[in-house]
């Protein structure tokens, strides 16, 4: 705050220099990032918290964060008094020159429409105007100079329209509309070919056609503060910069580029302005940056249509802190945003549409899918803000929304990702087959979704909402929410509707058994999956098996959160080795399978869960190896059957209530205190067809609650009706009235007691 106040005081005091013809200069690492006459500046003010933005009201709305400059100077321009300006005016095949310094350090040679300037004076303004179809202008100035293009139309048939022979800084001011074009067979780098640092100012328009190579080429640093730059067509890059590119304001429109739109060997920093880039060539980039790409503001719109194209390709880190980024890429194997280093996003609006498809590439005599991805990172992705809209339409087969070879951390973003393309099978080599599928979020490393508002929808065959790890990354973990987080801090909605893909058919007597499939999943982790907090809603509506909502191929731990999971065909919540519930509020429903299923051990230590399974043999709570431990929490499971708790490790009793589907159940203490009022669901799926007891109305209700105590007697009412109170997925609380039906008494003498309430059970 002290730095901001101090800078403001300096600016306010120095505005008194207007009458003395001073210039304001902002410097960064020795380079001038902004320069303007003080008398052209109406106001300087600061806005926002540290690091604040400095707003300069100079007619162009120039904005600089404090970090964009490291020093400020005021200088008296070393130019002659008003009227002492060099004028170069093209008239077709001839040139008119007005040079007040012809005997004082500025020497101009004219040969037809070719002009060479040899200058030893600093900051001389050159106003260049007129028209020539075969002219050129080359500067050999040994000192910085000011080039002012005023409605200039200059083309050359063999070399650059404007070139520079000595490395010195150039300030380019745009007035009116100027057009530059070079010769197709020359050795120049661009129609505007400069070898020193270049700063572009003014309110005019520059139109460039690069017939030999690039449109605009700068071997030094390029800073754009204002003006309109249009790259009409190029043989190679639209703008080629061998140093750093800083875009503080103004407009860029690259309408067509034979290669990359922007190719920058250093860093790219976009502070403000409006940039639009179009590329159509194969394997080209809208923006190629060898260093760090940073976007703090402004608007960037990129459209790429070539195969293997990239909207933004950074060899290093990508930082997006603000502004509006829109990328549309339609070529196969293309990437919207690709970084070899980390991607860090703290704010801004990101809208990416990826309509290209996956292509198989031959690597070491094996086919390897090359995906079309919206955001792809070879290392880690860190997102702490921003508003994302990512769309992969039906044409994008197997594409990924956000994908990292390393870790992904999301902690505070609004995000909508839609993938619609189908997955597909392919031959790896010989007769060995595999499949590729789409995913909204995909990481080889660990993924943490801690806060934000995320909507993920994958509708293609085999599509997944969240996919963490694979057979080559078996320990990759997924963490949802934080231990101290509020459930409102994270809203996560995941929907999948695509069918599974048959990679190879199998056999066996088990219904749907055998074979190899690429299954759709709502949330899948190859390693451990932990849910700590958040409101998590997952819907999987496909008709075939394999469509789990929340699945860990290792351990699944639920410590908190509000979780609702619905699966039409498979287990809504499933773990391979262990499933532990320590807290949270959970509703898990399957039309045709178990409600909550662990293929290993199952521990219920706390929380509240309702798990609805299908007809026999499906269960509300299914523990495949019967290591079923209960130490706390309130849990209700309904289905055609239930796994039996392992009584010698349980510390909290449970009831197995044999009843009928649709029955209202109420459990009371001996003193009449209501422990549970629950409306059993009615089966909607087919259940275990062919299994004993697979039909009929029989249902098992599993129930455990801390109020159940061994040695105590309880009343179980069934077959009545419920009115009043608050209903949450069949569980009633508040002012509830239970009428009619029958009742039975049961004494809990062990950790697991069976009671008949209108049904015989499984």
pLDDT tens for residues 573-612? 999 999 999 999 999 999 999 999 999 999 999 999 999 9
> Collapsing DSSP states into helix, strand and coil, what is residue 244?
coil
Mean pLDDT across the stretch 515-534? Answer: 94
Distances (CA, A) of 72 to 14, 22, 66: 11, 13, 11
Please report the DSSP string for 250-273 in residue order.
SEEEE---SS-SEEESS-EEE-SS
> Collapsing DSSP states into helix, strand and coil, what is residue 6?
helix
Distances (CA, A) of 155 to 134, 265, 323: 5, 27, 36
pLDDT band at 79 (very low <50, low <70, confident <90, very high): very low
Residue 667 pairs in a beta bridge with: 676, 716
- Helices and strands per DSSP (H, E), number in the chain: 1, 77
- Is it the case that residue 434 has pLDDT exceeding 50? yes
Torsion of CA 146, 147, 148, 149, to 10 degrees: -170
- Is it the case that residue 666 has pLDDT exceeding 80? yes
Please report the pLDDT score of residue 53 as a whole number.
78
pLDDT band at 498 (very low <50, low <70, confident <90, very high): very high
Burial letters for 483-520: b for 16+ Cβ neighbours within 10 Å, e otherwise? eebebebbbbbbbbbbbbbbeeeeeeeeeeeeeebbbb
Query: Which of 1-5, 65-69, 483-487 is predicted least confidently?
Result: 1-5
Which of 516, 358, 520 is closest to 433 using CA atoms? Answer: 516
Give the separation between CA 735 and CA 3, rounded to whole angstroms: 61
pLDDT band at 70 (very low <50, low <70, confident <90, very high): confident
Mean pLDDT across the stretch 263-269? Answer: 98
122 CB-near residues (< 8 Å, 6+ apart): 78, 143, 144, 145
66 CB-near residues (< 8 Å, 6+ apart): 3, 4, 7, 50, 51, 52, 53, 54
Residue 19 per-residue DSSP state: G
316 φ/ψ angles, rounded to the nearest 5 degrees: -125, -135
Please report the pLDDT score of residue 23 as a whole number.
75
Please report the pLDDT score of residue 38 as a whole number.
76
Torsion of CA 724, 728, 734, 740, to 10 degrees: 40
Q: Which of 57-61, 453-457, 517-521 has the highest mean pLDDT?
A: 453-457
> Collapsing DSSP states into helix, strand and coil, what is residue 436?
strand
Which of 117, 109, 159, 115 is closest to 142 using CA atoms? Answer: 117
- Is it the case that residue 323 has pLDDT exceeding 50? yes
Kind plus residue range of the DSSP H or E element containing 483: none
Q: What percent of the chain has pLDDT over 70?
A: 91
Q: What percent of the chain has pLDDT over 90?
A: 79
pLDDT band at 18 (very low <50, low <70, confident <90, very high): very low
Burial of 723 (0-12, 13-18, 19+ CB in 10 A): exposed
Chain-wide mean pLDDT for the chain? 91
12 φ/ψ angles, rounded to the nearest 5 degrees: -60, -40
Please report the pLDDT score of residue 12 as a whole number.
47
Give the separation between CA 175 and CA 148, rounded to whole angstroms: 7
Residue 202 per-residue DSSP state: E
Query: Which of 379-393, 406-420, 644-658, 678-692 is predicted least confidently?
Result: 678-692
Mean pLDDT across the stretch 727-733? Answer: 97
- Is it the case that residue 500 has pLDDT exceeding 50? yes
Please report the pLDDT score of residue 645 as a whole number.
96
> Collapsing DSSP states into helix, strand and coil, what is residue 46?
strand
Give the separation between CA 247 and CA 524, rounded to whole angstroms: 41
Domain ranges of the chain: 2-75, 80-300, 342-501+518-546, 634-683+697-756
One CATH from 3.30.10, 1.10.357, 3.40.50, 2.60.40 for 634-683+697-756: 2.60.40
Burial of 692 (0-12, 13-18, 19+ CB in 10 A): exposed
Residue 447 pairs in a beta bridge with: 408, 478
- Is it the case that residue 285 has pLDDT exceeding 60? yes
| 562-584 per-position pLDDT tens digit | 999 999 999 999 999 999 999 99
Please report the pLDDT score of residue 689 as a whole number.
40
Please report the pLDDT score of residue 9 as a whole number.
44
Residue 419 per-residue DSSP state: E
Q: What is the 3-state secondary structure (H, E, C) of 357-391?
A: CCEEEEECCEEEEECCEEEEECCCEEECCCEEEEE
Please report the pLDDT score of residue 504 as a whole number.
82
Which of 335, 337, 341 is closest to 373 using CA atoms? Answer: 335
The sheet with strand 721-728 has its strands ordered as 721-728, 731-739, 674-679, 664-669, 713-718, 742-747
pLDDT band at 4 (very low <50, low <70, confident <90, very high): very low
Residues composing the chain: 762
| 698-716 per-position pLDDT tens digit | 999 999 999 999 999 999 9
Measured from the Cβ of residue 690, the count of other Cβ atoms closer than 10 Å reads 9
Please report the DSSP string for 285-328 in residue order.
EEEEESS-EEE-SSEEEEEE-STT-EEEEESS-EEE-SSEEEEE
Query: Which of 155-164, 244-253, 261-270, 359-368 is predicted least confidently?
Result: 359-368
146 vs 82: which has the higher pLDDT? 146
Please report the pLDDT score of residue 19 as a whole number.
42
pLDDT band at 508 (very low <50, low <70, confident <90, very high): very low
Question: Beta strands of 420-542 (E only): which ranges?
Answer: 424-429, 432-436, 439-443, 447-458, 464-468, 478-480, 490-496, 501-504, 516-518, 521-525, 529-531, 535-540
134 CB-near residues (< 8 Å, 6+ apart): 93, 113, 155, 156, 157
Please report the pLDDT score of residue 218 as a whole number.
97
Burial of 21 (0-12, 13-18, 19+ CB in 10 A): middle
Please report the DSSP string for 653-722 in residue order.
-EEEEEEETT-EEEEEETTS-EEEEEE-----S--STTSTT-SSSEEEEEEE-TT--TT-EEEEEES-EE
| 458-470 per-position pLDDT tens digit | 999 999 999 999 9
pLDDT band at 513 (very low <50, low <70, confident <90, very high): low
569 vs 32: which has the higher pLDDT? 569
Please report the pLDDT score of residue 667 as a whole number.
98
Give the separation between CA 54 and CA 249, rounded to whole angstroms: 13
User: Using an 8 Å Cβ cutoff, are 254 and 278 in contact?
Assistant: yes
36 CB-near residues (< 8 Å, 6+ apart): 23, 24, 56, 58, 201
Please report the pLDDT score of residue 231 as a whole number.
97
Please report the pLDDT score of residue 688 as a whole number.
47
Distances (CA, A) of 230 to 213, 251, 273, 512, 629: 16, 8, 14, 61, 70
Give the separation between CA 753 and CA 421, rounded to whole angstroms: 50
672 CB-near residues (< 8 Å, 6+ apart): none
Please report the pLDDT score of residue 66 as a whole number.
75
pLDDT band at 693 (very low <50, low <70, confident <90, very high): very low
């Amino acid at each position: 705050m002290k730095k901001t106040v101090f800078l403001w005081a300096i600016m306010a005091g120095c505005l008194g220099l207007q009458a003395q013809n001073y210039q304001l200069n902002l410097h960064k690492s020795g380079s001038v990032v902004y320069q303007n006459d003080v008398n052209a500046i109406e106001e300087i003010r600061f806005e926002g918290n540290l690091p604040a933005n400095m707003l300069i009201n100079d007619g162009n709305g120039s904005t600089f964060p404090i970090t964009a400059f490291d020093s400020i100077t005021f200088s008296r321009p070393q130019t002659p008094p008003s009227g002492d300006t060099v004028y170069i005016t093209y008239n077709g095949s001839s040139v008119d020159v007005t040079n007040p310094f012809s005997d004082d350090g500025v020497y101009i040679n004219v040969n037809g429409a070719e002009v060479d300037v040899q200058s030893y004076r600093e900051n001389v303004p050159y106003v260049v105007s007129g028209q020539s179809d075969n002219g050129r202008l080359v500067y050999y100035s040994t000192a910085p100079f000011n080039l002012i293009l005023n409605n200039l139309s200059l083309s050359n048939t063999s070399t650059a329209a404007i070139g520079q022979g000595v490395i010195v800084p150039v300030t380019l001011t745009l007035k009116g509309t100027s057009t530059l074009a070079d010769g197709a067979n020359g050795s120049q780098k661009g129609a505007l070919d400069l070898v020193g640092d270049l700063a572009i100012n003014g309110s005019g328009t520059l139109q460039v056609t690069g017939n030999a190579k690039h449109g605009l080429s700068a071997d030094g640093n390029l800073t754009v503060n204002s003006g309109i730059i249009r790259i009409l067509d190029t043989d190679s890059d639209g703008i080629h910069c061998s140093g750093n590119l800083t875009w503080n304001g103004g407009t860029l429109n690259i309408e067509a580029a034979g290669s990359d739109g922007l190719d920058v060997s250093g860093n790219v920093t976009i502070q403000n302005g409006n940039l639009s880039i179009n590329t159509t060539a194969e394997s080209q980039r809208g923006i190629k940056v060898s260093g760090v790409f940073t976007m703090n503001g402004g608007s960037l719109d990129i459209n790429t249509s070539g195969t293997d194209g990239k909207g933004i390709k950074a060899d290093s880190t990508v930082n997006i802190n603000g502004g509006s980024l829109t990328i549309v890429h339609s070529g196969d194997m293309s990437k919207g945003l690709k970084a070899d280093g980390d991607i860090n996003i703290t704010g801004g609006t990101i809208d990416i549409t990826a309509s290209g498809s996956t292509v198989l590439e031959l690597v070491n005599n094996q086919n390897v899918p090359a995906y079309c991805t919206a955001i792809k990172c070879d290392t880690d992705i860190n997102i702490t803000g921003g508003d994302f809209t990512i769309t992969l339409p039906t044409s994008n087969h197997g594409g990924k929304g956000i994908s990292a070879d390393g870790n992904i951390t999301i902690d505070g973003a609004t995000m909508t990702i839609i993938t619609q393309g189908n997955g597909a099978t392919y031959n790896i080599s010989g007769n060995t087959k595999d499949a590729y599928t789409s995913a909204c979020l995909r990481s080889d490393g660990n993924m943490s979704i801690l806060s934000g508002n995320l909507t993920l929808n994958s509708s293609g065959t085999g599509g997944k909402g969240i996919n963490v790890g694979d057979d080559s990354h078996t320990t990759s973990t997924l963490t949802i929410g934080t231990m101290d987080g509020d459930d409102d801090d994270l809203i996560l909605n995941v929907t999948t509707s695509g069918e599974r893909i048959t990679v190879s058919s199998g056999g066996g007597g088990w219904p749907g058994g055998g074979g190899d499939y690429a299954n759709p999943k709502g949330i899948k982790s190859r390693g451990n999956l932990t849910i700590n907090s958040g409101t998590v809603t997952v819907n999987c509506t496909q008709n075939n098996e394999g469509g789990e909502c929340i699945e860990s191929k290792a351990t699944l731990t639920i410590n908190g959160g509000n979780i609702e999971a619905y699966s039409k065909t498979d287990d809504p919540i499933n773990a391979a080795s262990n499933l532990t519930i320590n807290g949270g509020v959970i509703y898990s429903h399957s039309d045709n399978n178990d409600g909550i299923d662990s293929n290993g051990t199952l521990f219920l230590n706390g929380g509240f869960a309702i798990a609805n399974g299908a007809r026999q043999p499906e269960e509300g709570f299914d523990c495949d190896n019967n290591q079923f431990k209960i130490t706390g929490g309130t849990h209700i499971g309904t289905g055609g059957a239930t796994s039996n708790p392992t009584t010698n490790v349980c510390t909290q009793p449970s009831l197995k209530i044999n009843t009928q589907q649709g029955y209202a159940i109420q459990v009371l203490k001996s003193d009449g205190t209501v422990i549970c009022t629950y409306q059993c669901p009615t089966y909607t799926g087919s259940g275990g067809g062919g299994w004993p007891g697979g039909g009929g109305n029989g249902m098992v209700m599993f129930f455990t609650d801390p109020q159940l105590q061994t040695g105590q007697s309880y009343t179980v009412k069934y077959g009545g009706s419920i009115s009043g109170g608050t209903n949450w997925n069949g569980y009633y609380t508040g002012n509830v009235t239970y009428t009619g039906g029958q009742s039975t008494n049961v004494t809990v003498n062990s950790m697991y007691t069976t009671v008949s309430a209108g049904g015989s059970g499984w």
